[in-house]
Structure formats: structure tokens, C-alpha cells
Amino acid sequence: MFCNKCGRQLPDGSVFCNYCGAQQGVIPQAPGAPPQAPGMPPQAPTGQPYNPSAPAQQVAPPAMPQNLKCNSCGGPLKPSAGLALVVCEYCGAATTMGAGGAAQVVMKHFMLPNTIDQEKALNAGGEWLNKGVFRRKVAERSDLGNTTLKLVPYWVIPTSVVADYQGIRGTGVAQMRQEGTAKKVLGGAMLAFTAAAAASRKSNVPSQVTRVRDRLQLSFNIPVVAVRGYTKYQPQGGYQFNAQQKMDFDKRQSGGAQVMDGDVSEGEAKQQAAGLAHKLAEKEAKRHVDSLESIQVYPTMTDGELLHAPVWFVEYTFKDKPMYIAIDGNSGLVMEGERPAVALW
């Protein structure tokens, strides 16, 4: 469509012109809910497998036009250079940049409410710091730094994975690995003892080593942080936000916390989701074999949604080493963080 006043090209369904601010008289209709990630196909997967060694393709956000206006409320936007995602300070609508500098409102824009205060965030972080037999009162012996709450944008990418893997089963390593998962914080001494015990059991049990070829079919809603400078806060290990508590984004519900813009486009987030899906599939495959020989991962990413999640950032110093914890303000769980491996004295 074209602006009925200045004649510039606009995204279909725009209510206001991004350039002159004129009202267009067209009310955009939000598309229906995106379809769920399709079920795993019984036949062989199509497309190219994900190559973890291939260099990540850098997707540069398009240049921001000057004097940009929100095409939801007509208010002025003040994007910084390099941003691919701007939240209107008047109505809270998120605007992404398209080809040629055209802007459009993100229709699937949600938020999670913050349910914990600073004291609960510090308690959750302290429990996480002290977790483990070889960590004694790390929280109590640390110097607390800044503690801030921000609404951080994440692209949540529905991702289906088909993974064909090959490995060896029957050596007892997989069972030892599962038994030792809860004890891995005990360090190398416990692992060595567990390995010796497994070897002793193995000597008394007939060996039935077999080669396995099998397929995994997995599905994830992978969150990808939309701020490049926050990559160290990227949730790992399959962490997912509580989708049942999400609601339509309303800046009035921010509680005064800073609502962050982003500089990662949805296309780039899909690329990152493919890499995270490969790691999750490999981790799952290792649970089924004693030795993973090879794996081919075929991820399929569908259109995602933008989620502003409340994150408590806690900085602290332990023995002159600065560290951090990122806590999900909705669930009260630690998403990512740094802590000493051993702290007995």
C-alpha cells in the first residue's frame, strides 16, 4: 500500500504512515494463531542437515529511516543505529525493520509478568550459588553488586527436530552417566570411583555390545535473546519460558522496569535456534547410547513470536572475580550464570 498523503510505500495494513504520520484509515487485522510445529514425519527428513561447523551467517539489520513513526499509534520512534526491533514508548507496539527500511508492527508480541521482588531474586541466586557439595557459602562470601530488573526481548522460535544418530550401546557407560548426573558436582574423585564401580560390575556381567542406528523426533520452543550484547545471558540446556502465563504486551504492566529494544532480527534468531536445536538433539542422543559416533540433525523452524521477559540481573564478586546471575522474574529460576566450580575455603 501507499500513503494517501505523501505517497510513500508502506507495509500492508498500516494505520499510520511511518514517514509523515498521516492516518490511512485501515485497521490491521492480527493474523490467527500460528500453527503448532508439525509432528515428526515418519519418512526420511528432507532438506539439508544442520552443519554445526559451518560459520554462522551474519544478518545485518537494515538501515533505520529518519523520522520514523509508529504505524500503530502514529507516535514518533527514536531508534538507535543498528536496531532491528524498536518498542514504541507511547503504545508499546514493537516495530521491526523490513526490506528497504519499511517498518511493520510485530503482531505476535507478548510479555510475562514479574512475580518476584529483589529479595526473592537474591535468595534464588544465593541458593544457586551454594548448590553443590564443593561450594561452601559462596553467596555469603561474595560481594553483591548491582541488581536490576529489565524486560528483555526474546524471539521464541518453534523448532521441530529430526535427528538420525549412530552409536554403541552395552558398555555400561550410558547407565553410569545417568546414575552420575545428580552426582557430577562431586568432582573427578566421585566420577573416578563411579567408573571403577561400573568396571567392576562389567567384569561380572556378560558383555552385549551392539551398534545402534536410530532416529529422534523432538520439538522445542527455543528462546533466543534479541540483544547482541546479552549473548552470555542466552538460556542453555533447553530452558523454556512459562508460556501459560504470557499475555499481550502492555507497557503499563512493566512495573517501571526498563523495556529493552533489540538488534537481532527474527531471521537471525531462527539461525541461532537451529544451532541450539543441534546441541539439544546431540545431548538427547547421548542419553541413548554409550558412545555417540555420528549424528545428523534436521531442524525445521517456523515463524516465532516476540516475548518480553522479566529478567533480574545480579552482579557479584567472589575472590576478586566478577560474576553474574540472570534470573527469570516470572518463574524465579536461574536461567544462566557464573559460579566457582570449587569453593571450600
Around Cβ 133, how many Cβ atoms within 10 Å? 12
In the listed set 74, 107, 140, which residue is the last one of a domain according to the structure? 107
Question: Where residue 338 falls among pLDDT bands split at 50, 70, 90?
Answer: confident
**Per-residue pLDDT reduced to its tens digit, 210-265:** 988 999 999 999 999 999 889 888 988 889 999 999 999 988 888 889 999 888 88
Question: 109, 110, 104, 152: which is closest to 263 by C-alpha?
Answer: 152
Same domain, yes or no, for 16 and 160?
no
Same domain, yes or no, for 113 and 154?
yes
Same domain, yes or no, for 290 and 329?
yes
Of the two residues 7 and 114, the one the predictor is more confident about is: 114
Question: Which pLDDT value is given to residue 97?
Answer: 61
Min mean pLDDT across 66-80, 260-274, 308-322 is at 66-80
Same domain, yes or no, for 149 and 125?
yes
The single-letter DSSP state of residue 114 is: -
Question: Which pLDDT value is given to residue 2?
Answer: 72
Same domain, yes or no, for 102 and 139?
no
Question: Which pLDDT value is given to residue 241?
Answer: 94
> Does residue 71 fall inside a structural domain?
yes
Same domain, yes or no, for 62 and 153?
no
The single-letter DSSP state of residue 16 is: B
Same domain, yes or no, for 75 and 145?
no
Any residues with CB less than 8 A from the CB of 51 and at least 6 apart, and which? none
Grid coordinates standing for 178? 545417568
> Does residue 178 fall inside a structural domain?
no
Same domain, yes or no, for 230 and 279?
yes
Same domain, yes or no, for 221 and 85?
no
The single-letter DSSP state of residue 37 is: P
| Domain, as residue range, for 252 | 108-164+212-337
Question: Which pLDDT value is given to residue 4?
Answer: 74
Of the two residues 58 and 345, the one the predictor is more confident about is: 345
Question: Where residue 148 falls among pLDDT bands split at 50, 70, 90?
Answer: very high
**pLDDT at residue 12 is higher than 50:** yes
Percent of the chain with pLDDT over 90: 37
In the listed set 73, 107, 141, which residue is the last one of a domain according to the structure? 107
Longest dimension (CA), the chain: 86
User: CA-CA distance, 237 to 283, in Å (whole number)?
Assistant: 9
Grid coordinates standing for 242? 512459562
What is the average pLDDT score of the chain? 78
> Does residue 173 fall inside a structural domain?
no
Question: Which pLDDT value is given to residue 247?
Answer: 93
SS3 of 282, please? helix
User: CA-CA distance, 340 to 345, in Å (whole number)?
Assistant: 12
**Per-residue pLDDT reduced to its tens digit, 154-207:** 999 999 999 999 999 887 655 555 555 444 434 444 444 455 555 555 445 456
Bridging pattern class, strands 305-318 and 291-301 = unpaired
> Does residue 46 fall inside a structural domain?
no
Domains held by the chain: number:
2
**pLDDT at residue 274 is higher than 90:** yes
Same domain, yes or no, for 143 and 20?
no
Around Cβ 118, how many Cβ atoms within 10 Å? 12
**Per-residue pLDDT reduced to its tens digit, 50-62:** 666 666 555 554 4
Question: Which pLDDT value is given to residue 200?
Answer: 52
Of the two residues 304 and 1, the one the predictor is more confident about is: 304
Question: Where residue 37 falls among pLDDT bands split at 50, 70, 90?
Answer: very low
pTM summary value = 0.71
